[in-house]
Chain A
C-alpha cells in the first residue's frame, strides 16, 4: 500500500471547540456572578428574617460580646456632654416607641465627624461631631438616624449577612481549593449586593430620622444644616459615591426635602439651641 500524504485542512480543527474565548468567558462569568448574587440574596434574606426573632435579652448579649467597651471610656470633662447626648437619644427613642432595649451612648474622643450604631443598642458619637453641631436639631437628626438603624435592626441584619458572606466565600475557597480570582469574583458580587442593601437602609434611616425630628420639634428646620455645612468639604466623585454607603449629602438633603414636601412636613421653625455647657468648649 502506497502512502500518499494528505493535505491538512487549513481552518477546521475538530479538537478545539469553535467558540471565541471571550464569549465563553462572558458566559461563565455571568453564570458565576448571577448564582452568587442569588445565593447571597437568598441567605441574606433568611438571615434578616432570623434576626427579627432574636429576643431583646439575646440582642443585649450579642451587643456585650461584640462591642469594644474599653475603647470609649470618656474622660471626666466629657461626662456632661455624654449625659446630655444620652438624654437626647433616650427621649428620641421614647418618642418613636423603639424601646425594645435601652440605647447606650458612648463618646469617642476623635476629631472625625461621625456616629455609628453597634449591636445591642450602642451608639458611638465622636467628639468631633459634637464640636461640629451648632443646634440641638442637628444633633438630634444624627442620633435619630442611628436610631432608625436600631429600629430596623440593621446592625443585626448586617451581622447575619456578614456571617453568610464569610460562609459562602470560605465554602468556595474550600471546595475548589483555589483562593485567587474565583473567590474574588464571588466575594465582589456579594459585596455589591450588600452595598445595595446598605444604601437602602441608609435612606430608610434618614426618613426615620426626619420623622422623629418632626415629632419632637414639630418642624424639620435646621436639622439638615450640618449636612449643608459638611457638603462643602465633601469631594467624593460619582464612582466613589457608588461604592460608598452613604449617599452624597446634597442628594440626601434633596431627597429629604422632597419627602417633607410630599407629606406636608414643616421644614422651618424655631431653633433649639444646645445647652451652654455643651456647645462651648
Chain B
C-alpha cells in the first residue's frame, strides 16, 4: 500500500512539474518574443580587434543576468537521459530562454540609458544551487549577458 502511495506522489509531482513547467515556459516565450520585437532596433554586435569602433560620445557597461530553475519533470527526464546519453532536449529550452532573457535584460537597461547600440556582447552560463561534486540539490542555470552600450 505504501508503495502505491509513493507511486501516486511521484506521478503527481511529475504531472505538476510537467504542467506548471510547460505553462510558465509558454508564458516566458510569449514575453521574450514580444520584448525582442520591441528592442530589435538596437543592434548588439561584436567588434574585431582591428575594426574601427563606432563613433560614440559615451559608453557604459551593461549586464543582464537571469536564473531559471528546472521543474520536477525536466529534472527527472534529465536523470533518465544521463543513463543513456544524448541530447538533453528538456534543458535546451531552459538555456534558450536563459540566453534570450539575459540579452533582453541587458538591452532594456541599455535602451533606458539611451544606447544606440551595444557592442562586444558576451554570454556566460553556469549551473547553480548544486552541492559540489553531486547532482543533489536544486537544478537551476544562470545566464549572464554583458556588453558595452554606446551613444
Mask, B46-89, CB within 8 Å of A = 1, is 00000000000000000000000000011011011111100101
Find A16's partner among B33, B76, B83, B96 (CB 8 Å cutoff). B96
Find B89's partner among A24, A176, A180, A184 (CB 8 Å cutoff). A24
Q: Is B18 located at the chain interface by the 8 A CB criterion?
A: yes
Quick one: which of A10, A16, A17, A188 has the most chain B CB within 10 A? A16
Given A178-B135, A184-B10, A188-B7, A8:B79 Cβ within 8 A? no
Q: Are A25 and B87 in contact (CB under 8 A)?
A: no
Cβ of A60 to closest chain B Cβ, rounded Å: 34
Q: Is A29 located at the chain interface by the 8 A CB criterion?
A: yes
Q: Is A15 located at the chain interface by the 8 A CB criterion?
A: yes
Given A8-B33, A21-B90, A28:B80 Cβ within 8 A? yes
- CB contacts (< 8 Å) of B27 on chain A: these are none
Q: Is B41 located at the chain interface by the 8 A CB criterion?
A: yes
**CB-CB nearest in chain B for A36:** B83
Q: Is B5 located at the chain interface by the 8 A CB criterion?
A: no
Q: Are B84 and A8 in contact (CB under 8 A)?
A: no
Q: Is A278 located at the chain interface by the 8 A CB criterion?
A: no
Q: Are B43 and A21 in contact (CB under 8 A)?
A: no
Give the distance in Å from the alpha carbon of A240 to the alpha carbon of B103 in the complex: 54
Q: What DSSP secondary structure best describes chain A's contact surface?
A: helix
- CB contacts (< 8 Å) of A28 on chain B: these are 77, 80-81, 84
Give the distance in Å from the alpha carbon of A115 to the alpha carbon of B40 in the complex: 77
Cβ of A91 to closest chain B Cβ, rounded Å: 39
Q: Are A29 and B80 in contact (CB under 8 A)?
A: yes
Q: Is A249 located at the chain interface by the 8 A CB criterion?
A: no
Find B37's partner among A8, A25, A177, A243 (CB 8 Å cutoff). A8
The residues in B between 1 and 37 inclusive whose CB is less than 8 angstroms from any CB of A are 3-4, 6-7, 10, 14, 18, 22, 33, 36-37
Q: Are B77 and A24 in contact (CB under 8 A)?
A: yes
- CB contacts (< 8 Å) of A181 on chain B: these are 10, 14, 76, 79
Give the distance in Å from the alpha carbon of A24 to the alpha carbon of B37 in the complex: 31
Give the distance in Å from the alpha carbon of A25 to the alpha carbon of B79 in the complex: 11
Binding site for A on B (CB under 8 A): 3-4, 6-7, 10, 14, 18, 22, 33, 36-37, 40-41, 43, 73-74, 76-77, 79-84, 87, 89-90, 92-93, 95-96, 99, 117, 134-136
Q: List 25 A-B contacts (CB under 8 A).
A: A3-B43, A5-B43, A7-B40, A8-B33, A8-B36, A10-B33, A13-B96, A15-B92, A15-B95, A15-B96, A15-B99, A16-B89, A16-B93, A21-B18, A21-B22, A21-B73, A24-B77, A25-B73, A28-B77, A31-B84, A32-B80, A177-B134, A180-B79, A182-B83, A188-B7
Binding site for B on A (CB under 8 A): 3, 5-8, 10, 13, 15-17, 19, 21-22, 24-25, 28-29, 31-32, 176-178, 180-182, 184-185, 188, 191, 243
Starting from the known contacts A5-B43, A6-B40, A21-B74, 12 additional A-B residue pairs (CB-CB under 8 Å) come to: A8-B33, A10-B33, A21-B18, A25-B80, A31-B83, A32-B80, A176-B83, A177-B134, A181-B10, A181-B79, A184-B6, A184-B10
